[in-house]
Amino acid sequence: MGKKIVILLFVLLGIYFFPIPVFSAIGPICQTLQNKISAAYDSTCGDVNYDPVADIDKDKDVDLYDLTVFNAKAFDEAWCQSRLDDTSVPCAIGPICQTLQNKISAAYDSTCGDVNYDPVADIDKDKDVDLYDLTVFNAKAFDEAWCQSRLDDTSVPCATPPPPTFGLINPLACNTIPECIEKIIGFIFWVAMAIVPIIIIIAGFLFLTSGGDPEKVRTAKRIILYACIGLAIILLAKGIISLIKAIIGS
């Protein structure tokens, strides 16, 4: 029993001379402000998680300085309430970016062919103004030079396809009448060069098998004569065309 009393006395003396520090918990208002700073920490104007309330010094970003200022005032509920009440936004965009934002807002959710579609608002030129275009703009909303470049880009991604053409296929692959005539005569020439020898062979066969029959001999002679006349006409026609081309060319 005596030992317990001595120990108890020592404990009481220790508490008296070396009191245990008591850390006060921050109040609910400062806790709310601390949560906002934590959620928006390391963000800047234009970021999704940026919160102007958490930007204590209103320098357009939530950084270590804001956190340091808060820690110095973390137990001052009145001060924390004043910061929560200050919802002013330091991130006012410039006039050029404001113009681009207006165009995106007016053309939002439109596609090529819609009355309100605007190619300037179609940032990624994918033929529609959607959430992606708005997201890209928000990330660059304070860059006036970038906004100006987007306003200057009036290229239209909605190229109209050429109307279908209906016409006859040109089997000769020629573009002018003289060219077509030359191709036709050339075709006839090569066909004749293949047929005339066959006709002459047939006429010679008739001549050999005529057996002295005058009628068969005359027929064979006429076939040979007509074949030669036809070949001469074709050769003459081809020669005349070549001569005309040479004269025009000179």
The per-residue pLDDT for range 29-41, each reduced to its tens digit, is 999 999 999 999 9
Provide the 10 A C-beta neighbour count for residue 227. Answer: 19
Global pTM value = 0.37
What's the mean per-residue pLDDT of the chain? 81
DSSP state of 174: -
What is the structure's pLDDT at 156?
Answer: 87
CB 67 within 8 A of CB 41: yes
Task: Quick: pLDDT tens for 187-196.
Answer: 887 888 888 8
Task: Quick: pLDDT tens for 6-51.
Answer: 555 555 555 555 554 444 578 999 999 999 999 999 988 777 788 8
Cα angle vertex 80, ends 74, 84, to 5°?
140
Query: Read out DSSP for 41-92?
Result: TTEETTSTT--TTT-TT-SSEE-HHHHHHHHHTTT-HHHHHHHHH----S-P
Q: Collapse the DSSP code of 154 into the 3-class scheme (helix H, G, I; strand E, B; otherwise coil) and give the result.
A: coil
- Token pair belonging to 151: 């306003």
Q: For the residues 225-246, what does the mean pLDDT come to?
A: 79
Q: How far is CA 190 from CA 89, 172, 194, in A?
A: 88, 15, 6
- Quick one: three-class SS letters along 9-25? HHHHHHHHHCCCCCCCC
